[in-house]
Structure 1
């Protein structure tokens, strides 16, 4: 499994050096913005990138793109993949193949306000990681523990992240 021309350990070391020299530089702000399209769809921009989001017909959409919770699952999977790759190099663990799947259980009564006792989001998420290479199962378990401790998108779900919403009206 190749990771490009720059070693991920080199990136980690350069980042650590930059943060030592300027601790305030460790704080990074990521931004995204969105506008509606169609009945329930949206277009999200993040930097130079655009992401379409929609809902299936059962939820009022046209199924032209993944829905918001599928986008979350995709974000979790992609964050897990990059975190596995960084930490495998950091721990000196060879990974020949890596694939990740995720699925989540959502009860729509929460979203539609049909039962205030039901969460609007996932009630449970299951992640299946398939990994192979020459390391022992114990080393891959060590890698999994490092990924679970350092994956930012996983942390968004397992930790409490304060969200402050400002409403501006015209």
Structure 2
């Protein structure tokens, strides 16, 4: 799947991200020249982690017959040392349903193994950037 990011001239920094049939506005906050019309790229990165944990928990609970009724994931960023090569994300899970302590512990362990968590912490990513003719 190709994700396309296209300039939206209705704002000074605004872009539209196209993922399949889905569209999402991205922007920057006013202090860096945007209008805050959507999340910025760091927000999307952080949100991917929270979304993956939530979806993984629901998938796992359904598969194992665990009575998980509600999931809320909070992701908090500490980018204060990003320029030094250290980016910290903290996640907090709120799980709803008639769960016992063993199920809660099991779901916590599963959340730490979601694919995006693994991608962010265990995989070396290579990025190639080229110019396209046209």
C-alpha contact 2:53 2:111 (8 A) present in aligned 1: yes
Alignment TM-score, normalising by the size of structure 1: 0.68
Q: Residue 94 of structure 2 aligns with which residue?
A: 130
Q: Which residue of 2 aligns with 1:56?
A: 29
1:63-115 Cα offsets, whole Å, 9 max, x none, are: 111111112222222221111001112222111222111111113873xxxxx
Q: Distance in 1 between matches of 2:12 and 2:80?
A: 21
Q: Which runs of 5+ in 1 are unaligned?
A: 1-29, 111-117
How many residues are paired up? 131
Determine whether 1:72 maps to 2:57: no
Q: What TM-score do you get using the length of structure 2 for normalisation?
A: 0.84
Residue matched to 1:101: 74
Does residue 167 of structure 1 match 2:118? no
CA distance in 2, matches of 1:61, 1:101: 25
Q: What 5-or-longer segments of structure 2 have no aligned partner?
A: none
CA RMSD between the two structures:
2.1
How far apart are 1:159 and its partner, in Å?
1.8
Q: Which runs of 4+ in 1 moved over 4 A?
A: none
